[in-house]
Chains A and B, each alone.
Chain A
């Protein structure tokens, strides 16, 4: 596959470049834009970031593998990121995770066969006061119960079905 920046992203990166003393600063912002465009980071996208920033492809690849939010493989349309750290664990994240596994028929790290949902566990999402929480792509869902998870999954399935 090949990779080309969208015109909007290219313009945003050009504008952003003027805010920094070195184009090297653009690695993270540019990787985010690749992921936004492609849903993950294909090697061609990593090459484009290397070219933009002056780092080698290997260096950018190293960065892409270091940060957990960057994905090197395509994932489901909705990535369910269940917080597993202490405050959520104290407030029933285990029940939520088990419920999701059962509803979706997959284990952590897997994607449903229809490509809709990927189930992951993540470290502290910074919302300990509203535990248990999970983030679906970029949206935070708080005070989860098995019932609220069901409602959420139904909504997402309806949305996914319209694709």
Chain B
């Protein structure tokens, strides 16, 4: 039996939960009142000790990322940027925070800025989230009017200004360096990774980029302590995640659960099982960048980074897409590859060309004009796309292709063996 644990989503169901009045009645900004009585180091240490991992898909330790911001950097300003460019297919949890509890995010931003010595924060929100942006902006305006944001946050001698920056429809801007390029007024081309660990840079200034949910977890950790967070989840994946459930389930939606929850129990308990009493065929566990799991694999899977990795997939964003036995996996892969082709930023040749070729070959296979050679070609292209580009977009596409072709090969062969060209 699954126990409801609500750290991020505890105010989600309250009427008018997005307003300052309701949020404050239910505990918002408690941690900010006496902010300057805490040391910045104590906040960083709590986040580090909590084992919090980035909730935007990568799962990197947040505390370690924050430590990269330590130091004077020749007196240059430091920035905090919140990644709200949620665009990973199957993922819609940050949108819930923005529209249901924007004040939780703002509280997290205040704590993060203070801990890192930043005074200017930005939220980069995807262009399509226009209505959610209106709610967020209203919350920010309310916070300014109440003296929670601005020159002296809640009476503390500390300034934080918060600005919303609207994207314009480019998936790749969810990659943190592409996001910063975009915020510098350029095309969203990911940057080359540095040789050693260092912060991100915004106009040459040290910058932290964290996902919405990651920042929204900080108030709980600061208020309740690192151990309170660690009591949920697993040793290596502590705490909870807002998983997003879609596809062929009875009750799609966003439900928070501790890491380590068995995948099928989660689907049964929150999703109400497979739609129309159908049979499970496959699950994409963490957004469209993660490898598909067969029903057998799904039965063994737990919702944590290590379990998914052990099954050759990844936890990613926790965007779970459930597919019943009616799904044609060749069509499903074609759908995903059309996405990759559309969204490749075009900077690296293997990705720009590879995603297009894969998309075209799959179209040919679906038209029953493919050959067995095409299947081999798909895997060859996939290999060329893996590990030879600036960012992980192409390697993700590559792993998606490999898993789908290998695990559901008979479905592909059925097209080829009845096809004219085979």
Contact = CB atoms under 8 A, between A and B. Distances in A.
B171 A123 contact: yes
B167 to A, nearest CB: 7
Contacts of A140: 131
B290 interface: no
Contacts of A131: 246, 252
B210 interface: no
B158 interface: no
A2 B345 CA distance: 32
Nearest to B171: A123
B248 interface: yes
A149 B165 CA distance: 32
B374 interface: no
Interface in B96-126: 120, 126
Contacts of B254: 129
B335 A86 contact: yes
Contacts of A86: 89-90, 247, 284, 288, 321, 332, 335-336, 339
Given A22-B203, A87-B89, A127 B95 contact: yes
A18 B92 CA distance: 32
B94 to A, nearest CB: 8
Nearest to B184: A24
Interface stretch (A3-11, A25-33, A100-108, A153-161): A25-33
A21 B77 contact: yes
A128 B92 contact: yes
A91 B323 CA distance: 10
A143 to B, nearest CB: 10
A139 B345 CA distance: 26
A150 B205 CA distance: 51
A4 B168 CA distance: 22
Interface string A30-70: 01100000000000000000000101000100110011111
Given A21-B203, A29-B166, A89 B335 contact: yes
A28 B169 contact: no
Interface in A106-163: 122-131, 135, 138-140
Closest 6 CB pairs of A and B: A27-B185, A67-B168, A128-B246, A69-B169, A138-B130, A68-B169
Interface of B: 77, 86-92, 95, 120, 126-131, 161, 163, 165-171, 182-188, 202-203, 205, 244-248, 252-254, 284, 288, 319, 321, 323, 327, 331-332, 335-336, 338-339, 342-343, 345
Interface of A: 16, 19-22, 24-29, 31-32, 53, 55, 59, 62-63, 66-70, 84-87, 89-91, 122-131, 135, 138-140
Given A28-B182, A84-B338, A87-B321, 16 more contacts: A19-B161, A22-B184, A22-B203, A25-B184, A27-B185, A32-B166, A32-B168, A55-B185, A66-B170, A86-B90, A89-B332, A124-B288, A126-B92, A126-B129, A130-B252, A139-B130
